[in-house]
């Protein structure tokens, strides 16, 4: 039996593996379904990775390689797909040698995130070739595949600008970038840079109404400030609207938080079956890779405690729920105690107001904040504040 099996060799999973190895834990393996470890940064062939966790800047592929290098010594099994989770850390896996069944004392889920594709967005129109997501586009472009020359980019999260950078490298000239909301969502580089540097118009308050085209995309129908407008293009890149890749825990009946789309965890990263831990972008949409990597390290630290039998029993947890303009909050369960309790959330819309935490009926935290929906909300509570409490509500008024 293995001590720890990590599912997913991306920033969170590989960083967790590194921490476990450095602590001298044997029997750690990382299962990766792709032929190469490293996760999604492998295909983001521009600068911007590593600042948070490695304190220097890399391109995506260099960062991915560095994650793998730093996890050297871990048993990374590539081309290995987990097909089902069973209680108590039993896994069904598909390997090139055939199906296998294995057990691990602890399993860490670090399967990351994907963008919401056209299909799941229930978009109107025909279904021609040339409709893709940032992630798929970047991987194609890196391989020299050019599915379109003049696409439109839908969305304005950071991923949209990442798509723009990739397009520029590949000699693809996006026609325009569209954001349904009133403002650009990414903090940097923002609409100004997109307009000034790449000559790509960025239009806010613009909804995609319909995709048109028979074999290939021929145009899109847009509503600009409510007025319909057809725009010729040969591709559509849907960016952002990330979704945790959570079908394994969902199929296994682990508790899923409908607000995050990921497994619900306690403040030790434990899922509803305590043999399973979860970390990284699987937990919620979406953090940058550096945050996910550090979260992997934090989860690994708790796994080390679990292996030593130091974690409190999971039954002692109390529920944490979001309220008001708070879209989600995690961890979704907390075991009162410890020095500090760290919680993260997101607002459902741009909001200025009071963030407060209520332990049962008692106010235990309060802060005035002005927040945008894509920005992380973090709050730290003294562990003692929840002693003897039955529930915690975090509310954005």
Partner 1 sequence: MTAASFDIAIIGAGVVGCAAWRAFTLAGLDCVLLEREADIISGASKGNSAILHTGFDAAPGTLELACVREGYRQYRAIHERLGLPLLETGAMLAAWSEEELEKLPGIRAQAHQNGVTDVTQITAAQVRAREPGLADDVKGGIWIPGEALIDPWSAPLAYARQALANGGTLRLNAEVTSGSFSGGAWTLNIKNTAPIRARIVINCAGNFGDLVEAIARPSPFTITPRKGQFVVYDKPAHDLVQSIILPVPAARTKGIVITRTAFGNLLVGPTAEDQPERRLATTGSATLNALHEAGCRMLPALSGMEITTAYAGLRPATQFKDYQIEALPAQNWITAGGIRSTGLTGALGIAQHLRGLYEAHFGTLKPLPSPLWPRVPNLTEALPRPHAQPGRSEIICHCEMVTRDEIAAALASPLPAGSIGGLRRRTRCMMGRCQGFYCSRRVLELAAPHIPGLADA
What is the C-alpha separation between 105 and 103, in angstroms, rounded?
Answer: 7
Give the list of residues 6+ apart from residue 287 with CB closer than 8 angstroms, or none. Answer: 281, 295, 376
| Residue from 24, 56, 98, 182 in contact with partner 1 (CB under 8 A) | 98
Helix (H) or strand (E) holding 289: helix 289-307
**Considering the complex, what minimum distance in angstroms separates the CB of residue 207 from partner 1?**
10
Alpha carbon 206 to its chain centroid, in Å, reads: 25
122 vs 339, which CB is nearer to partner 1?
122
Piece of the chain touching partner 1 by CB under 8 A; list 52-60, 95-103, 265-273, 371-379:
95-103
Please tell me whether residue 90 binds partner 1 under the rule CB under 8 A. no
Please tell me whether residue 35 binds partner 1 under the rule CB under 8 A. yes
Residue whose pair of structure tokens reads 């594709």 in the numeric block: 117
Residue 349 burial (10 A CB sphere; 0-12, 13-18, 19+): exposed
83 vs 362, which CB is nearer to partner 1?
83
184 vs 283, which CB is nearer to partner 1?
283
**Considering the complex, what minimum distance in angstroms separates the CB of residue 165 from partner 1?**
18
Question: What binding mask, one character per residue, do residues 358-377 give for partner 1 by CB under 8 A, x or -?
Answer: --------------------
What is the C-alpha separation between 195 and 177, in angstroms, rounded?
Answer: 10
**Considering the complex, what minimum distance in angstroms separates the CB of residue 78 from partner 1?**
9
**Considering the complex, what minimum distance in angstroms separates the CB of residue 368 from partner 1?**
34
**Considering the complex, what minimum distance in angstroms separates the CB of residue 117 from partner 1?**
4
**Considering the complex, what minimum distance in angstroms separates the CB of residue 189 from partner 1?**
24
What is the C-alpha separation between 238 and 367, in angstroms, rounded?
Answer: 36
92 vs 389, which CB is nearer to partner 1?
92
21 vs 110, which CB is nearer to partner 1?
110
Q: What are the backbone angles phi and psi of residue 123, rounded to the nearest 5°?
A: -75, 150
DSSP annotation of 333:
E
What is the C-alpha separation between 388 and 283, in angstroms, rounded?
Answer: 27
What is the C-alpha separation between 259 and 244, in angstroms, rounded?
Answer: 11
| Residue from 74, 76, 123, 364 in contact with partner 1 (CB under 8 A) | 123
Give the list of residues 6+ apart from residue 387 with CB closer than 8 angstroms, or none. Answer: 336, 337
52 vs 129, which CB is nearer to partner 1?
129
Please tell me the total number of residues recorded for the chain in this structure. Answer: 397
| Residue from 73, 99, 228, 337 in contact with partner 1 (CB under 8 A) | 99
Please tell me whether residue 146 binds partner 1 under the rule CB under 8 A. yes
Question: What binding mask, one character per residue, do residues 227-256 give for partner 1 by CB under 8 A, x or -?
Answer: -------xx-------x-x-x--xx----x
Please tell me whether residue 155 binds partner 1 under the rule CB under 8 A. no
Please tell me whether residue 24 binds partner 1 under the rule CB under 8 A. no
What is the C-alpha separation between 293 and 281, in angstroms, rounded?
Answer: 9
Please tell me whether residue 94 binds partner 1 under the rule CB under 8 A. yes
Please tell me whether residue 140 binds partner 1 under the rule CB under 8 A. yes
Please tell me whether residue 133 binds partner 1 under the rule CB under 8 A. yes
| Residue from 3, 81, 204, 391 in contact with partner 1 (CB under 8 A) | 81
Give the list of residues 6+ apart from residue 35 with CB closer than 8 angstroms, or none. Answer: 78, 79
CA dist list (Å): 336 to 47, 217, 342, 386, 393: 41, 55, 12, 5, 14
Helix (H) or strand (E) holding 198: helix 190-198
| Residue from 45, 53, 66, 115 in contact with partner 1 (CB under 8 A) | 115
DSSP annotation of 186:
-
Cis peptide before 331 (omega within 30 of 0): yes
Determine contact, residues 319/391, Cβ cutoff 8 Å.
yes
Q: Which residues bind partner 1 (CB under 8 A)?
A: 33, 35, 79, 81, 83, 94, 96-99, 114-115, 117-120, 122-127, 129-130, 132-133, 135-137, 139-140, 142-143, 145-149, 210, 214-216, 234-235, 243, 245, 247, 250-251, 256, 258, 261
């Amino acid at each position: 039996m293995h001590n720890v099996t990590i599912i997913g060799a991306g920033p969170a999973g590989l960083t967790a593996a590194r921490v476990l190895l450095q602590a001298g834990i044997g029997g750690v393996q990382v299962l990766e379904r792709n032929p190469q470890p490293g996760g999604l940064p492998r295909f983001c062939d521009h600068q911007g990775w590593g600042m948070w966790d490695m304190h220097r800047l890399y391109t995506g592929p260099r960062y991915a390689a560095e994650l793998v290098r730093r996890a050297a010594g871990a048993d990374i099994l590539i081309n290995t797909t987990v097909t089902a989770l069973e209680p108590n850390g039993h896994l069904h896996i598909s390997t090139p040698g055939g199906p296998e069944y294995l057990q691990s004392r602890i399993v860490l889920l670090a399967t990351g995130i994907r963008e919401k594709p056209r299909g799941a967005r229930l978009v109107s129109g025909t279904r021609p070739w040339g409709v893709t997501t940032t992630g798929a586009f970047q991987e194609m472009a890196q391989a020299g595949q050019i599915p379109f020359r003049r696409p439109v980019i839908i969305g304005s999260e950071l991923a949209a600008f990442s798509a723009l950078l990739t397009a520029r490298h590949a000699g693809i000239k996006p026609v325009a970038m569209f954001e349904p909301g009133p403002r650009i969502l990414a903090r940097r580089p923002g609409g100004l840079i997109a307009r000034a540097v790449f000559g790509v118009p960025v239009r806010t308050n613009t909804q995609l109404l319909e995709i048109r085209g028979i074999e290939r995309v021929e145009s899109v129908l847009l509503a600009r400030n409510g007025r319909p407008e057809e725009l010729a293009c040969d591709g559509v890149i849907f960016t952002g609207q990330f979704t945790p890749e959570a079908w394994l825990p969902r199929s296994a009946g682990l508790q899923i938080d409908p607000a995050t789309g990921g497994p619900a965890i306690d403040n030790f990263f434990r899922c509803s079956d305590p043999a399973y831990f979860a970390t990284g972008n699987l937990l919620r949409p979406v953090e940058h890779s550096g945050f996910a990597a550090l979260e992997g390290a934090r989860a690994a630290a708790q796994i080390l405690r679990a292996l030593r039998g130091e974690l409190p029993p999971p039954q002692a947890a109390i529920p944490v729920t979001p309220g008001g303009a708070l879209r989600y909050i995690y961890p979704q369960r907390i075991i009162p105690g410890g020095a500090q309790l760290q919680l993260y959330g997101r607002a459902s819309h741009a909001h200025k107001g009071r963030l407060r935490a209520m332990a049962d009926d008692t106010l235990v935290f309060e802060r005035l904040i002005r927040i945008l929906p894509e920005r992380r909300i973090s709050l730290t509570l003294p562990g003692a504040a929840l002693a003897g409490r039955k529930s915690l509500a975090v509310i954005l008024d």
